[in-house]
Amino acid sequence: MILQIHMACSRLMAGSEALLKALETTIDNQNISFVDAAKSAGYAQDPVDITSVFLKKGAYAGFVELHIEQGPILEEEGVSIGIVTAIAAPASIKVDFEGSGGHAGAVLMPYRNDAGLAAAELALAVEKHVLESGSIDTVGTVGILQLHPGAINSIPSKSHLEIDTRDIDEERRNVVMEKIRQSAIRIAKDRGVKLAEFKIVNQDPPALSDESVIRAMESASKDLKLSHKLMISRAYHDSLFMARVSPMGMIFIPCYKGYSHKPEEHSSIQDITNGVKVLALTLAKLSLK
C-alpha cells in the first residue's frame, strides 16, 4: 500500500495508532517499506520500536511553530506578525468511478457511460456544496483528477478524484463531506457508472491555540515593537497534531502575495528575522512559567 497522508511525522509523534498500523504495510514508489526505510536511517530495529517516537501527553510545556502565512493578509495589511488562534479542520476524500470505455468516434452519445464526465460533475458538485455552507471559512478543492486510459480518442472508462475539504467548524465541514458522498452516489446512478470507491482518507478535528501561548506570542511581539494580529490558519500544519500532546501556538510571517507551494514563494530577510525573534522570545517567556 502506498500511503498518501499529510503530516505523517507529527501525526505519528502525536500517538496515532491508526497511522502506526497503516505504516506497517506502507511502501514508497520504489517498493521500499516504511519500516525498512526507518531501519536504514537508524530507527526502528523492529516494527514495535516505531512507537518510540510517540510523545507523552502532558510532558511538554508548549509547542510553537513559525511559518509563512501562505496567504496575502499580512502583506496587504502591512502587519509583521500573525498570531494563530485556531487551525482549520482538514479532510481528504478519494473517489473512483468506473464506466464503459470505447472509441471516441464510434460510440454515440446516448450509449455512453463516461467515467470522466462523472468525475467532472462531481468536481462541480464539490464547489456547489462548499458554497452552500454560507461560510467564507468552508473550502473545497479537487486537487487530483485522473482519467483512464487518458487518450484523446478514447472515452474514459475510469476516473479518480482526490478532494480536499476544510473548515474551522468541524460539523459544517462534515455536512459538506456527506453532501459530496450523496452527490457521488447520485451521479453514478444517473450516468450509469459504478462508484467503485468513496474513501475518507483523513478527517481531522480543528485545533485551538493555547491561551497561555497566545499571550506569550502577543507579549513577545509588543516587546519587539512589531505589529501583530490574531488570525486563523486555514492551511493545516504540524501544530494541528502537536496540539494533541502539548499546549500549542503558531507564528505567521508575511509572504510575497501569499504565494506558497510554488516557485514564487518568498519572504524577506527582515520578515524572517522578525519571526525568529518572536519565536525565541515566546519560548523564553514560556520557559519562565
pLDDT score at 1: 45
Q: Domain containing 269: what range?
A: 63-88+206-287
Q: Is residue 80 situated within a structural domain? A: yes
173, containing H or E segment? helix 170-191
Q: Which of 166, 183, 203 is the last residue of a domain?
A: 203
Lookup: cell for 177: 463531506
> What is the pLDDT, as a whole number, of residue 68?
97
β-strand pairing of 139-148 with 158-167: antiparallel
Indicate the residue among 203, 228, 247 that finishes a domain: 203
* Contact between residue 151 and residue 192 where contact means Cβ atoms under 8 Å apart: no
Cα 72 to chain center, whole Å?
Answer: 19
Q: What is the pLDDT of residue 5?
A: 65
3 state SS of 286: helix
Q: What is the rounded distance in angstroms from the CA atom of residue 72 to the CA atom of residue 76?
A: 6
Q: Cis bond leading into 110, ω under 30°?
A: no
In 3D, which of 169, 241, 249, 250 has the Cα closest to residue 211? Answer: 249
Predicted pLDDT at 27: 81
Establish if 2 belongs to a structural domain: no
Give CA torsion, residues 254, 257, 258, 262, to 10 deg.
-120
- 122, 159: one domain: yes
Between 115-132 and 170-191, two packed helices, what is the crossing angle to 10 degrees?
A: 150
Q: Are residues 147 and 282 in the same domain?
A: no
- The three-point CA angle 176-178-180 to 5° equals 70
Q: Total domain count for the chain?
A: 3
- pLDDT tens string, the chain, 289 residues long: the values are 444 567 777 877 877 777 777 777 778 888 888 778 877 877 666 655 667 777 878 778 889 999 999 999 999 999 999 999 999 988 999 999 999 999 999 999 999 999 999 999 999 999 999 999 999 999 999 999 999 999 999 999 999 999 999 998 999 999 999 999 999 999 999 999 999 999 998 898 899 999 999 999 999 999 999 999 999 998 889 999 899 899 999 999 999 999 998 999 999 999 999 999 999 999 999 998 6
pLDDT of residue 7: 74
- Cell, residue 277: 525573534
Are 216 and 73 contained in the same domain?
A: yes
Asked whether residue 134 is domain-assigned, the answer is yes
- The percent helix, strand, coil of the chain (3-state, each to 5) is 40, 25, 35
Cell numbers representing residue 215 in the block: 499571550
Q: Is residue 123 part of a domain?
A: yes
Assess whether 128 and 83 both reside in one domain. no
In angstroms, the CA 237 to CA 244 distance is: 13
